[in-house]
Amino acid sequence: MKSCKIKISGRVQGVGFRPFVYRLAKSLDLTGWVLNSTGSVEILIQGSEANIRNFIDALIHDPPPLSHIENIFEEIVEESTYTDFSIIKSREDKGFNFISPDIAICDDCLRELRDPHDRRFGYPFINCTNCGPRYTIIEDLPYDREKTTMKVFKMCEVCNEEYHNPLSRRFHAQPDACSVCGPHLWIDSLNIPESNLFKEIGKLLYEGQILAIKGIGGFHIACDATNESAVERLRNNKKRRSKPFALMMKDLDMIRRYCYVNNTEEKILRGKERPIVLLRIKDYLDLSPSIAPGNLYLGVMLPYAPYHYLIFDDFDRPIVMTSGNLSEEPIIKDNVEAKDKLKNIVDNFVLHNRNIRNRIDDSVVFVEDNDLTFVRRARGYAPDPLKVSIEVDPVLALGPELKNTFAIGSGNYVFMSPHIGDLKDLETLDVFEETIEDFIHLFRINPEVLVHDLHPQYLSTEFAEKFKSFMKVVPVQHHRAHILSLLLDRDIGDPIIGFSFDGTGFGEDGNIWGGEVFVGNLRELHRAAHFKYFPMAGGDYSIENPKRIAYSYLFSNEIEDNGNYLPISPLEKDIIKSMIQNKKNIFYTSSCGRIFDMVSAILGVRSVIDYEGQAAVELEMCAMDSDTSAVYPFEIQKGSSLEIDILPMIKKILEDRQHINRSIIARQFHNTIAYIILSTAEILREKYHINKVGLSGGVFQNRLLLNILSPLLKESKFEVYTHRRIPPNDGGISLGQIALAMKGV
């Protein structure tokens, strides 16, 4: 008879680990105990040596499906004898916490939800140890019911029995509940009996109502996606003119009516994370034309909360499911706040009384070349840690301004926050600060280093300044952070040629960067190439007006807009001219994103935008109608740093514009950007003897560009790296910022 102590760390809480250990110990005739401590599960087992061995083997090779073991530590100890095996009280301890993301309803629960003989038949909050809310309901750790927002629901006798019965699927399932004792769903201001609730929701949707529906991580705004007037009304109410809306569809059959779905996409759509997947549109059929105007992709997800399934029982059409927020603010999570802020947007509220402690948006992904790319890493994925190859001091990285996420890290783990929003107003800043506090507390990391973006005017920089007197505060340039993110994301230790192409970022020379190429590794990155600077008249205002960017470019290069292609008034022209001539209110930029904007405007695809990236997205869609392989001329001027000049291309585009279909021009433009990258990489390979190429930044969310570029780079025998675990856009920057806290630097 031996006693063995085992300590397991990783994602082992909230995933049914203790019940699993309990059943396993019982089946092997072992006695002792299991408990949750901060960040790990501790076990004491007593029994024969062979059975202890079998126990450990099973732990390693056959753990619960949602768990993820990072480390397992075992030692033989001397202990007094136990006569039984039990789950004992949780203990607070030093060390990391891992928190499980929220998991879509599992097949077993779905079966019970549908079974008229089950006591949870039709219960909107059914869950078990293998599914349900986790991160969103956790107030503190260790993960126990009293430390979740479920603490206010006292379990009924039957639930309580299940909770304590090791043979039940709900043994120690913290969010366990039933219609007798658990949370409830209702339609605000309508007095509908529970038995009729979903019929009524279906009826309201069929009637064209816009509903705010409280979800798992926050509110959705929903309406019938086939009802043009409802969708139009939602656009007007939300002041969101054309940014695509995500849809929820009943099942894969429904999705396949509208979209192409390959095997990888199907797997991801059905996965326990249930993200929104961007799918190529097959046929719009009865969908409202204003769901995703000018786009060839639809963002679609399958139901993931039990009540989503119940809604589709009484509603047989695709549903618009957009985040319940105002423009780029954080998603709303509380009933009172929703009723206040969304009252002018929606007709009715579908509320529930399970509090959301931690807000989180739906994740957004796409599949290209059988690889998953994140556009937004949130529900289902965050706050799973990212393991990195370097050791960092305890650090907080504040992230970028747009699509903000922040990250905290220590040792070789990084916890990236879910999507926060655009860090431009105090409302968002509040949520940013709140979430930082929560992360520091939940993950028990006390930052000693604070990393922020170089931009002197960002709210995050102001935030960082406050800490200067009592901790190390380090700024980092935006595009360097993109490449550092990629190096950490893909675990690249060797030197790389890193393309950091996006819309905007404050440069080290005071100019606005956005078309940068770096050479180096995690310790040292050297700016080796960039697009030639061009003046942008009018700052942020011009970003919303691609036609102004185009006109600034043409005027400063003394090119005439002979065909008058830009819808720009003589007055606007004069303003831009005088700004450039007097060097007043102009910025110099090397932004690749702005080059996309400029070409989009010259081609008349999009001259004024109402969401970030719109001009480039619509240019990409326009280019997809052509398959030309022609390339425009460009120049790469050699010097200590290469300068990429697109002037020859722009001149040719203006000529072509007069007699060539704009899809062909748009496609040829995409080809040219791909060849610019290839040529730059080839020159730098020659110079630095580096064969790895990395692509980071929002420009690399352009699937057409990726499709043209990857074969070119591969043909030229480059090893190509794109993002896998985090988005290529600014949502991934905070990971790279973490590298500034590398130990020993």
Instruction: Select 32 or 175, whichever has its Cβ closest to Zn ion.
Output: 175
Distances (CA, A) of 160 to 151, 166, 178, 563: 13, 12, 10, 76
Rounded to a whole number of angstroms, the distance between the first and last alpha carbons of the chain is: 50
Write down the least CB distance from residue 310 to Zn ion, Å. 15
Given candidates 72, 181, 660, 712, which one binds Zn ion under the rule CB under 5 A? Answer: 181
**By CB under 5 A, is residue 131 in contact with Zn ion?**
yes
Encoded one letter per residue, x for contact with Zn ion by CB under 5 A and - for no contact, window 145-164 reads -----------x--x-----
- Cβ neighbours of 559 (radius 10 Å): 13
- Cβ neighbours of 160 (radius 10 Å): 13
Work out what residue 712 binds among Zn ion, Fe ion, none; the CB cut-off runs from 5 to 8 Å by kind: none
**By CB under 5 A, is residue 109 in contact with Zn ion?**
yes
Instruction: Select 272 or 424, whichever has its Cβ closest to Fe ion.
Output: 424
Q: Are strands 449-453 and 472-476 parallel, antiparallel or unpaired?
A: parallel
Instruction: Select 129 or 591, whichever has its Cβ closest to Fe ion.
Output: 591
Report which of 406, 210, 416, 421 is spatially closest to residue 331, judged by C-alpha positions.
421
Report which of 138, 172, 155 is spatially closest to residue 15, judged by C-alpha positions.
172
Work out what residue 269 binds among Zn ion, Fe ion, none; the CB cut-off runs from 5 to 8 Å by kind: none
Work out what residue 502 binds among Fe ion, Zn ion, none; the CB cut-off runs from 5 to 8 Å by kind: Fe ion
Given candidates 104, 128, 704, 733, which one binds Zn ion under the rule CB under 5 A? Answer: 128
- Using DSSP, state whether 726 is helix, strand or coil: coil
Q: Note the residues at the interface with Fe ion (CB under 5 A).
A: 502, 730
Phi, psi of 25 (to 5 degrees): -60, -45
**By CB under 5 A, is residue 178 in contact with Zn ion?**
yes
Given candidates 106, 269, 300, 408, which one binds Zn ion under the rule CB under 5 A? Answer: 106
Instruction: Select 304 or 458, whichever has its Cβ closest to Fe ion.
Output: 458
- The DSSP code for 300 is E
Angle, helix 197-206 to helix 306-313, in steps of 10 degrees: 60
Write down the least CB distance from residue 60 to Zn ion, Å. 24
Instruction: Select 99 or 128, whichever has its Cβ closest to Zn ion.
Output: 128
Residue labelled with tokens 């939602």 = 234
Size of the site for Zn ion (CB under 5 A): 10
DSSP codes of every residue in 428-454: HHHHHHHHHHHHHHHTT---SEEEEES
Instruction: Select 542 or 701, whichever has its Cβ closest to Fe ion.
Output: 701
**Amino acid letter for position 80:** S
Work out what residue 730 binds among Zn ion, Fe ion, none; the CB cut-off runs from 5 to 8 Å by kind: Fe ion
Write down the least CB distance from residue 178 to Zn ion, Å. 3
Work out what residue 473 binds among Fe ion, Zn ion, none; the CB cut-off runs from 5 to 8 Å by kind: none
Write down the least CB distance from residue 729 to Fe ion, Å. 7
Backbone region of residue 733 per phi and psi (left: phi > 0; alpha: psi in -120 to 50; beta: other values): alpha
**By CB under 5 A, is residue 15 in contact with Zn ion?**
no
Instruction: Select 324 or 694, whichever has its Cβ closest to Fe ion.
Output: 694
Instruction: Select 383 or 732, whichever has its Cβ closest to Fe ion.
Output: 732
Lookup: tokens for 508: 């080290």
Strand order in the sheet with 364-368: 185-187, 348-352, 211-214, 219-224, 319-323, 247-248, 297-301, 276-280, 364-368, 371-376
The whole-angstrom separation of Cα 171 and Cα 174 is: 9
Instruction: Select 224 or 502, whichever has its Cβ closest to Fe ion.
Output: 502
Write down the least CB distance from residue 265 to Zn ion, Å. 24
Write down the least CB distance from residue 104 to Zn ion, Å. 9
Binding segment for Zn ion (CB under 5 A), chosen from 103-111, 214-222, 243-251, 320-328, is 103-111
Distances (CA, A) of 522 to 515, 693, 700: 20, 14, 21
